[in-house]
Amino acid sequence: MSEGNVGKPLDRVDGRAKVTGKATFAADTPVARVAYAVIVGSTISRGRIASLGRAEAERVPGVLAVLTHDNAPRLPGGEGKGDSNERVLQLLQDDGVRYDGQPVAVVVARTLEAASFAASLVDARYEVEEATVFVEPASGGAFTPKPSGPRPPPDSSRGDVAGALAAAAVKVDATYTTPLQTHNPMELHGTVAVWQGDNLTLYDATQGIFSVQRRASEVFGIPRSSIRVISHFLGGGFGGKGSPWSHVMLAAMAAKVTGVPVKLVITRPQMFAFVGYRPLTIQHVVLGATRAGKLVATRHDVLSMTSRFDDFMEPSAYLTRMLYACPAVETSHRLVRVDVSTPTFMRGPGESTGSFALESAMDELSYALGMDPLALRLANYAETDPDEDKPYSSKSLRACYTQAAERFGWARRPAAPRAMTDGRLRVGWGMASATYPARQPPSHALARLRADGSALVLAGSQDIGTGTYTIMTQIAADNLGMPIDRVRFDLGDTTFPEAPLSAGSTTASGVGSAVKVACVALRAKMAALAAGDRRSPLHGIDPKDIDAEGGELFARAAPSRREPYEAVVARQPGRIVEAKVDEQEKPERKNYATHSFGAHFVEVRVDEAIGRVSVSRVVSAIAAGRVLNAKTARSQLLGGVVWGIGFALLERTVRDVRDARLVTKDLADYLVPVNADVPAIDVLMVPEEDPWVNAIGAKGMGEIGIVGVAAAVANAVFHATGKRVRDLPITLEKLL
C-alpha cells in the first residue's frame, strides 16, 4: 500500500469546478418548471395573528399560492421534535407568534420577482403580547436543561470547591459575557423541493442530508425511503446548516400544494430570524490558587438563553472540567426562556464561548499572582484528563506552548501592562490555550473498483467547504494503492451509504475512518480474488502477502509478480468488485480521553485616543493528530483565527430590549472581519501521532482554530491598556 498522498498539501479536487462555476450548490440546481417561494416573517416577537389578508397578494400575476395558517395543509408530524430530536419548527400550523421574523406566510409564484412583490402585500395584523429578551442574570426563571444525546450532563462536581476557595491564597471572581452571534456564510440557506407522486427530492444546503431526510419523514408522515436529499456543495455552514429548519419543510409543503417544483432561498435578514445563532452567555468564573500558582478550586457557572418552545444549551463550561489540573471543580449550565427563536451550534460551540471566560480568568489570575501567563498554564498542566480520570490518547499541548511562544518571542514580553508602545499606539501581548474534543461518530462507506481501472468511493457525507472531497480522495488512493487521479470520491446523496452530520470536527474522523476501512477491505478482497484465480500471476500466494501500488497488485516477496486491478475486475461477474463497511468507534478508544489542543499568542495595537483596537500579529500552534492535507488543514485553522478576531472585536447581533425584535439584520450592521482587520497569521501544525483516536489518527481541524482566540485578544488588550474588558465584543466605548 502506498502512503504518498495523505498529509500532502494537494489542491482541492473540486477546486476547478468551483472556480469555473460548474459546482452546483443546492439553490443552483436546474429543475424544469420551478416556481419560487418567499417567506413572510412576523413583525412582532410574541402574540397571535389576528388576521392575515391574502387577497391582494393572490391577485399578483404569476402567483400560484399564498399559504398561511388558515389554508396550509395539516402535517402528520406537526412541528415538534419527533423522534429525531431536531429543532421545533414553525410550519403554519397555528396562529401563534413566538419570535420576531417567524414564518407566518409563504408566497409561491412563477418568478422570484412576483413572489417577492406579492409577499410585500400580505396584510398581517397581530394581537401583541409583551415580549422579553434575555439581558441580565436577574432575568429570573433559570432552569437546568436536560442532557441531550451523548453529551455530558449540564452540571459537574469533583472535590470540595467551597472549602478550597475559602482557603485559597489568591482568588479571581469575575463575570464574562459573550454576545448573541449570527452565522453568515456566503451561501444563504436554500432548498429546491420536487415531488413525484409520493416521493420527495430535496436539494438542500445542509450539513446533514440524513438529518433532513429523517425530519421530512416525520413531518410529512412518509417513509424515509420515499425521500431523497442531495447536497453536493455548501458555501459555508458553521453549524447553522446542521439542523433542518422551517424553510426546508415549507418549500416541500409549497411544492406539494402547487404541484410544481419549488425553490426557496431565504434572505440575508432572514438569516438572523429563524435558522439559529450562537446564544448570549453570562459566565461566572471563580479561581482559587496557591501563592505558587497551583489551582486549588474552580467554579464556572453559565447562564444562556433559549426559546420558549425549545431547548438549546451552549456547553461553555465543558472545557473547564478538563483543561487544567485542579482537584476541586464545579460547573453548571442554566437556561432562561425568552421570546426568541431557538439557538444552535456555531463554530466551536461551547469551547469558543467558554474559553473566553476561563482563559480571561486565568490571565487575571496570572496578574494577581505576579506570574507569567504561560508559566501559570504550565504550572497547572494536566498530564491526564482530570474530568474523565483517563490518560489522553495523545496530548501535545506543551509542544504547542513551546513552539508558538518561541516563534512569537514571548520571552521578551514585559510583565507590566502599558509597558510597550509604537508611536502613539499602545502594544500588548496576550495568549490563551485551546482545546476541542475529538469525537468519532459511526459512518458507512462503500469502495468500488471498475473494469477500467478506476475506483469510486461513496459516503453520504457533506463538504461544507472544508475540503472533504479532497481528503477522502487522498485516503482512498493511499489505502487502495492507486494514483489519485484514478480515484473519485462522491458524497451528498442519501442514496449513498449513511454518514453522520458534518459538524463538531467529526467528518475526518468518522467518514475518513470508514473510507480507509472500506478501501483496505476492498484491497484485501482483490488480493483474495487474484490469489484464488488460476489466470492471475498472483495465483497461490497468501492474500496477506499481496500488496498494491500504482493500481496494481503485487507479491511482496516477488514484486515482479503483479497484476493490474482492472485485469482482476474484468474477470468478475458484473465487472465490478466492491466492499461496504459500517465503521464504529473501536472499543479500546473508550480507555482514553480524546482531545485536540493548541495555543494562541496575539499582539494588538490600541489607539487610546479613539479606542481602536487592531490585531497586528498572531501565532497559533495546533496539535490535532494526523494532518490529512496540509493546505486545507492550514486554511481551516486560519479561518478559525479570523473568526476569533471577529468574535473578540466585531460580531454582535442586537435585539431591542423593549420588544425582543432584531435590530441587526444584515451585513451592514453585523460586522465581520475584512482584509484590513486580519494581520499575518502564523499557523504551526504540531506533529502528533495518535494510535487510539480512530483508524486514520486525525482529530479534526474545523473548530479548534477559533477556541481561545477571543481570550488571547482580550488578554493582549489588557496588557496594552491596563483595562480588562469582560464583555465581548471589545468596542471603542469600552476602552475610552
Q: Which residues are catalytic?
A: 703
What counts of helices (H) and strands (E) characterise the chain?
15, 29
Question: What sign does the CA torsion over 215, 218, 222, 225 have?
Answer: positive
Residue with cell 496477506: 544
**CB-based contact 112:36 (threshold 8 Å):** yes
Phi/psi zone of residue 405: left (φ > 0), alpha (ψ -120 to 50 degrees), beta? Answer: alpha
DSSP, collapsed to helix, strand or coil, labels residue 624 as coil
Q: What is the largest distance, in Å, between two alpha-carbon atoms of the chain?
A: 85
DSSP, collapsed to helix, strand or coil, labels residue 636 as helix
Amino acid at 367: Y
The C-alpha atoms of residue 468 and residue 714 are separated, in whole angstroms, by 33
**CB-based contact 217:224 (threshold 8 Å):** yes
- Residue 244: cis peptide before it, omega within 30 degrees of 0: no
User: What angle do the packed helices 709-721 and 630-649 form, to 10 degrees?
Assistant: 50
What does each C-alpha distance from 381 to 294, 376, 706 come to in angstroms?
A: 10, 9, 21
Quickly count: other Cβ atoms within 10 Å of residue 95's Cβ. Answer: 17
What letter would DSSP give residue 344? -
Amino acid at 44: I
What does each C-alpha distance from 673 to 190, 465, 663, 666 come to in angstroms?
A: 25, 19, 20, 14
**CB-based contact 465:440 (threshold 8 Å):** no
Joined grid coordinates for residue 431 = 495568549
User: Cα-flanking dihedrals φ and ψ of residue 492, to 5°?
Assistant: 80, 30
Q: Which residues contact 294 (CB under 8 A, 6 or more apart)?
A: 379, 380
The C-alpha atoms of residue 644 and residue 636 are separated, in whole angstroms, by 12
DSSP, collapsed to helix, strand or coil, labels residue 491 as coil
**CB-based contact 316:302 (threshold 8 Å):** yes
What letter would DSSP give residue 413? -
Phi/psi zone of residue 151: left (φ > 0), alpha (ψ -120 to 50 degrees), beta? Answer: beta
Residue with cell 415531488: 195
Joined grid coordinates for residue 653 = 447581533
The C-alpha atoms of residue 607 and residue 733 are separated, in whole angstroms, by 12
What letter would DSSP give residue 273? T
The C-alpha atoms of residue 97 and residue 663 are separated, in whole angstroms, by 18
The C-alpha atoms of residue 690 and residue 554 are separated, in whole angstroms, by 30
DSSP, collapsed to helix, strand or coil, labels residue 717 as helix
**CB-based contact 369:293 (threshold 8 Å):** yes
The C-alpha atoms of residue 197 and residue 259 are separated, in whole angstroms, by 10
Q: Residue 193 burial by CB count (10 A; 0-12/13-18/19+): exposed, middle or buried?
A: buried
**Edge-to-edge strand list for the sheet holding 96-97:** 96-97, 47-53, 123-128
Closest CA to 124 of 38, 56, 35, 37: 56
**Edge-to-edge strand list for the sheet holding 681-685:** 420-422, 425-437, 595-607, 612-623, 681-685
Q: Residue 169 burial by CB count (10 A; 0-12/13-18/19+): exposed, middle or buried?
A: middle
**What residues pair up with 443 in beta bridges, in sequence order?**
583
